Amino acid sequence: MTPFIPPDHSKGDERTIGGYAAVHGRPAAFQGVDGLAYSVEIEVDDTGERDAPFGAYLLFVRWSPGSPSASGHLESDFLARADSAEKARETVGALSLSAVKTLLDTLIGAQGPRSSRPWWEAMNDDDESEGR
């Protein structure tokens, strides 16, 4: 079990996604519109663009109800592009927590209804519907 570490407000503005992680020493977490818990991290990847080779996006990890195990994830598109990973991460880190929550709920809504059945059962439905 992780010990309680008091927030250090000198490290940033806890109302932003980057500031929250710095102040509290852990990722922010939200309850999505689907009722499930999500934690969020800022990630950086190669954009393939010459002028802005680094892109930052948000990775939302979905947690299983009642157990501390990941059950899936959602990713935003690139929210910032820059000439360095640090600049891209900093730009996304300045997003307000409310903007991040809105983005999470939008990503959840774009998925459509989720089945509670295991993937291997749902996969068989696809085969049957295609006449296989």
pTM: 0.81
Burial 63-73 (b: 16+ CB within 10 A, else e): beeeeeeeeee
Within a domain: 46:
yes
Within a domain: 79:
yes
Within a domain: 38:
yes
Q: Is 54 helix (H, G, I), strand (E, B) or coil?
A: strand
The range of the structural domain enclosing residue 19 comes to: 9-129
Within a domain: 2:
no
Within a domain: 3:
no
Quick one: pLDDT at residue 117?
57
Which residues of the chain have a pLDDT value below 50?
A: 128-132
Quick one: pLDDT at residue 129?
47
Within a domain: 4:
no
Quick one: pLDDT at residue 116?
57
Report the number of distinct structural domains present in the chain.
1
Quick one: pLDDT at residue 123?
61
Quick one: pLDDT at residue 107?
96
Q: Where are the alpha helices (DSSP H) in the chain?
A: 17-24, 85-93, 97-111, 119-129
Quick one: pLDDT at residue 109?
93
Within a domain: 1:
no
Within a domain: 122:
yes
Contacts for 36 with CB less than 8 Å, ≥ 6 apart: 62, 63, 65, 71
